[in-house]
Chains A and B, each alone.
Chain A
């Protein structure tokens, strides 16, 4: 994170499109909406790809598709699993009273175990997601970020 602080500072200094007088295009890669429009208008009168074309190009690049695939391959099954597990828990708590009240050990019953299990799976999934993102996604995403910003920086001028 510290490593990103420097270049980030550069991105942060960019002007706020909210304050920008209309038409005062300074095509820096901020202000999503304004930028895409400006890029498109300008692409007719000057050389080089517009910002919209750059984003389309990055989107279809193998490097980006790999980052997206890694993100989705983790998040979609994980989100489906924890939502189903939570819904099953809520439905069981409201309908399957006898199952939930079955004693396991001492005062512990199935309901208590399931509730603590929800806490445990939440912590575990949090840890797994953070690890997956750190090992399989962060580096590639950061490289793409600088590349894209370099390309769009050229587009506006």
Chain B
């Protein structure tokens, strides 16, 4: 029985890998190797295509398996995540997407550096972008390793390690050969698969309860063992004040972090105009919103059909809730339907991880080549093709991510994702918003905003109970936990904004009104947009 799952899941997954490799070779068949082509896919995607690709980039395995699992275990408190992940898109739509598309060329640093002394600002924003990407990347690699162990039953460490290495190698191939065009098509294929899987399972859950959502919720509450409390907040974050503050901190990081994620921002450059960027965000909000609504149904469905106790018995953090639900919906252990559905869900989860990993690798290789390499290059040195540098950078980031992914195999995935969002919200977002909307913003302000958010965020995590001082932390033996919260957002996000403000008002250099005029005119009209 177990063998059937594995064979079928592996077959489906190999099919996905074959299709995506096919896309990569087909797409790179007659590329010219220009920066426009490599970073932005020639800027010729349609809003619908880009909307699906954004949704594919955003919905990681953490959303597919993690949120439904949290809901299956903790009920309502799991739903808080999905709300935060969705509302974040309003920040992107209203304040960021169109303006960034109009002002920038390939990366976030383009937008911020346009008004400032180029070199220090590019270095700062490039550094924080790479930090965010690597954190996010390690989270996905660790997730890939544990998924294999969970879904294919391969509990041995060798299987895990080989998965991490394999995922890393594949992503380097996708990115360095196919660039943005191949990555975008992989995201689109993955988003379609993911939505199809979610719709199928949701329909099956609703059919099981004859379309009666009320009956679904009542039966979820009954089988969870918590009764009515299961349907209201507090099971996970309702403890002491530290836990509550921690959740507010996480909520803040989720809602403000999305607009600072480099791999999301770089997606806006793949469409020709700001209007197209807006329309792609609208598509992705529709897709992401309906996906999270379905994941709520799947989470409560898993609690009602599988039962919270069985979910917890299979995996303590609930990551297997959806596969178990699929097995049951298909007809249960041993049936053909169950085997097929289980294998399909497992294959979709793999595809999801692979696609997200490719998207982040591309964005961080762009940060390395376009921002860091460009500002550290010695003037007068022999100029190398930027795309060549980006390809090498993709391979280098792949190696770093594989190494970190192997080292960090026992780290909690949700924590790494939360940290990536917190760093993005504290370091990238203040610099971005200030440079788009504040006339008096200066170079010093930009540099301080980035480091003033990045350094506190990383330091507070090192001093938090995640790293030391509690039984579940990385180093349970030592106690350096001076900061009580697991997520630094509550402190580090205001710190980033404050540092940017202080840097600007203490700056000896006067703000340049002409450059501000240029940024403002370009951002709102699209004049001179790449």
Contact = CB atoms under 8 A, between A and B. Distances in A.
Contact of A12 (B43, B218, B517): B43
Contact of B90 (A12, A94, A126): A126
B236 to A, nearest CB: 10
Contact of A126 (B93, B237, B518, B524): B93
B114 interface: yes
B429 interface: no
Contacts of A83: 91, 255
Interface in A55-88: 55-56, 58-59, 64, 67-68, 71, 75, 78-79, 82-83, 86-87
Contacts of A130: 278-279, 282
What 9 pairs across the A-B complex have the smallest Cβ distances?
A29-B528, A52-B514, A107-B217, A101-B232, A148-B527, A59-B517, A32-B114, A93-B233, A90-B251
24 contacts: A1-B47, A8-B529, A12-B43, A18-B386, A32-B528, A51-B518, A55-B518, A64-B521, A67-B524, A68-B524, A86-B251, A90-B252, A93-B233, A94-B237, A97-B232, A101-B233, A115-B83, A118-B87, A122-B90, A126-B90, A126-B286, A133-B278, A144-B524, A145-B526
Interface of B: 34-36, 43, 47, 76-77, 79-80, 83-84, 86-87, 89-91, 93-95, 98, 103, 105, 113-115, 118, 214, 217-218, 221, 228-229, 231-234, 237-238, 244, 247-248, 251-252, 255, 272-273, 275-276, 278-279, 282, 285-286, 289, 292-293, 370, 374, 379, 383, 386, 513-515, 517-522, 524-530
A97 B233 contact: yes
Contacts of B522: 32, 55
**B-side interface mostly:** helix
Contacts of A40: 514
Contacts of A145: 525-527, 529
Nearest to B520: A59
Contacts of A141: 524-526
Nearest to B40: A12
A144 to B, nearest CB: 4
Nearest to B518: A55
Given A52-B518, A94-B247, A122-B285, 16 more contacts: A1-B273, A1-B276, A5-B272, A8-B529, A18-B374, A19-B383, A32-B103, A52-B515, A68-B520, A86-B83, A100-B232, A101-B228, A107-B214, A107-B231, A119-B86, A133-B278
Given A107-B218, A109-B231, A126-B90, A1 B520 contact: no
Given A75-B95, A112-B76, A152 B528 contact: yes
Contacts of B77: 93
Nearest to B379: A22
A94 B95 contact: no
A24 interface: no
Contacts of A125: 90
Nearest to A93: B233
Contacts of B276: 1
A18 B518 contact: no
Given A11-B528, A109-B232, A138 B517 contact: no
B121 to A, nearest CB: 10
Interface in A128-146: 129-130, 133, 138, 141-142, 144-145
Interface of A: 1, 4-5, 8, 11-12, 14, 16, 18-19, 22, 29-30, 32-33, 35-36, 40, 51-53, 55-56, 58-59, 64, 67-68, 71, 75, 78-79, 82-83, 86-87, 89-91, 93-95, 97, 100-101, 103, 106-109, 111-112, 115, 118-119, 122-123, 125-126, 129-130, 133, 138, 141-142, 144-145, 148-149, 152
Contact of A111 (B76, B93, B292, B528): B76
Most buried by B among A59, A108, A125: A59
A126 B113 CA distance: 29
A94 B103 CA distance: 39
A119 B217 contact: no
Contact of B530 (A5, A11, A103, A126): A11
Contacts of B526: 141-142, 145
Contacts of B35: 16, 18
Contact of B231 (A35, A111, A122): A111
Most buried by A among B105, B286, B527: B527
A150 B379 CA distance: 33
A122 B525 contact: no
Given A119-B83, A144-B527, A145-B526, A56 B47 contact: no
A94 B530 contact: no
Contacts of B519: 32
A148 B521 contact: yes
B94 A33 contact: no
Contacts of A90: 80, 84, 247-248, 251-252
A4 B275 contact: yes
A86 B244 contact: no
A152 B76 CA distance: 56
A148 B282 CA distance: 28
A113 B275 CA distance: 33
A122 B89 contact: yes
A95 B528 contact: no
Contacts of B43: 12
B90 A100 contact: no
B86 A79 contact: no
Contacts of A152: 527-528
B141 to A, nearest CB: 30
Nearest to B76: A111
Nearest to A79: B94
B270 to A, nearest CB: 13
A52 to B, nearest CB: 4
A8 B272 contact: yes
B521 A149 contact: no
Given A32-B519, A107-B214, A107-B231, A123 B285 contact: yes
Nearest to A78: B94
A131 to B, nearest CB: 11
Nearest to B111: A32
A5 B383 CA distance: 33
